[in-house]
Amino acid sequence: MGELVVVLIVVLLAVGPERMPQFVRVVGRGLRQVRKASRQLREASGIDELLRDEELAELRAMRLDGPPVRSTRLTETERLRESPPEGVDIAWHRVRGDVAGTEVTREPR
């Protein structure tokens, strides 16, 4: 509420008290045009009908009543696979068969 008072005071100072009624009328007309355009767009696109559609309501109910979400905590096996102690690069090379033991073979540059 305090922000609105500050904005109104700034507008009053910027526009001036003698031009304030005309300014408010112009802003009111602009808001009416935006609302009208928004209403026409909603009617033309049929978004309101889609939102009221029974099938969509059924899908919403299915989503809300769907299977429980899996926990985001990793098991010990998953944690080791995601963050191997020897490092991700070495583990990746080991899976590919490029690494003997823990040493990484590098090509000369």
pTM: 0.41
20-38 per-position pLDDT tens digit: 899 989 999 999 999 999 9
Contacts for 91 with CB less than 8 Å, ≥ 6 apart: 84
- Residue pair 11/17 in contact (Cβ under 8 Å)? The answer is no
Using alpha carbons only, how large is the chain's radius of gyration in Å? 32
Contacts for 93 with CB less than 8 Å, ≥ 6 apart: 99, 104
d(CA 51, CA 62): 16
28 vs 75: which has the higher pLDDT: 28
pLDDT band at 103 (very low <50, low <70, confident <90, very high): low
